[in-house]
Structure 1
Amino acid sequence: MTRLPSLFLSHGAPTLPIDPSLPSAEFASLAAGLPRPKAILMLSAHWMTAQPVASTAAKPDTIHDFYGFPRQLYEIQYPAPGAPDVARRAAELLDAAGIATSSESHGLDHGAWVPMLLMFPDADVPVAQLSIQPRRDPAHHFRVGRALRTLRDDGVMVIGSGQITHNLREADFSARPEEADPRVTEFTDWFETRLAGHDIDALLDYRRQAPHAVSMHPTDEHLLPVFAALGAAGDDYQMRIQPLGTYQRVLAMTNYVFTDA
């Protein structure tokens, strides 16, 4: 079986599936160009725990973990089957790498089901979630990804779901895409140059080295999943970038696909 790519997705606002001004169709086109996975292991910025937890739910609930949005959004269900075997295997791999991991039954938060709905609308790809650790650094999440790398040989797609820039404090929800803060491009250009150059050390130290890092990520839970996806990639990975634009002035959406050379 072909080794599957690992991905980082900028999942955007919860309204992505229902707001025509947001780039929802692009997720379908991304999926159409990828090998079809047997299952997905999703690390979402919206499930945060002190240590990794793998969800063994056989039928994960659709969690509407947001407030004040249109009723239509709360009526969406994404009834994909779970992947408890993948969750258990992920926990075993992490434990073997010295990363203590537990298991529980957990549903799919919107960082997981929103992109899954757009990429696999028939809800026919099993999906398991693995939590992130907001008090741990990028290096920890890179090690998590490294431990999970062999899952890709078994038809499992490892996906990190977050946002390449995420600062709700400075978001302007009336801003047009062309009114993006120039700091967004300065940050993403730096990040993508280091990704293209395989400069892992600089990426793991992004908070000190990247321009405007703290402004773009006052807290970095929405960026941590990219380090897991990067860790799961091969040492000589090739990268494909799908830029989707910047919204609300400071919320950039870019998807990355890491494939083996």
Structure 2
Amino acid sequence: MIQKKLESAAQAVADMKDGATLLVGGFGGSGLPSHLVAALVEQGAKELTVVSNNIGAVSDGVAALISNDQVKKIICSFPVGPHENDLIERLQKGTIELEISPQGTLAERIRAGGAGVPAFYTPTAVGTELGEGKETREFNGRVHVLEQAITGDYAFIKGHRADRWGNIVYRKTQRNFNPVMATAATVTIAEVSQIVEVGELDPENIVTPSIYVHRLVLVEQGQEGKVLVNE
């Protein structure tokens, strides 16, 4: 993988089209690629399908995209929070669709998508509203529902350090949905705090290999993010 060019942070999301499916990493505010989300709010792509563990605050995270009328569907495990009234109003108007997936199931759907597994069975949600209408099958005397894998056109992830090829190390709870989302998108864009030379990262600490990372956004405090585009 060869470094091609150094551009503004906004360029990292400039080619996103209306109707794209976007995976957004993070668990609450931990590991949330907030600079990339903010850049997409400015870019303005609409009719997005967004996959995220939770929606976030009104002014941050996926909630900012919802408030800016950029989202047509949200797939998440935790839709409640400060933004809840805004989301409910849009659901009532029919301007947005909500699909709730249990947290572990959501993670596995994304992991399966990255691994090329189209679907899998799980006992989670059997006998609940979340399992209604889904195919079921019994294994070892227990009923399971069939869940479809999730893939995206783009993934926004956040890491701590990366080298210039895009190998990524995470800091503590940044390692939540980010690693699996990196594998499940056509284009993965990573927001990191530091970029080092190739060879400076301990290979044993690299969680996301560079093969999954297409663009690196360096976010430095008090400075506009810069992006390294790898092709």
TM-score range, shorter chain: 0.3 to 0.5
Structure with the higher strand share, 1 or 2: 2
Larger Rg: 2
**TM-score, structure 1 as length reference:** 0.31
**TM-score, structure 2 as length reference:** 0.33
Structure with the higher helix share, 1 or 2: 1
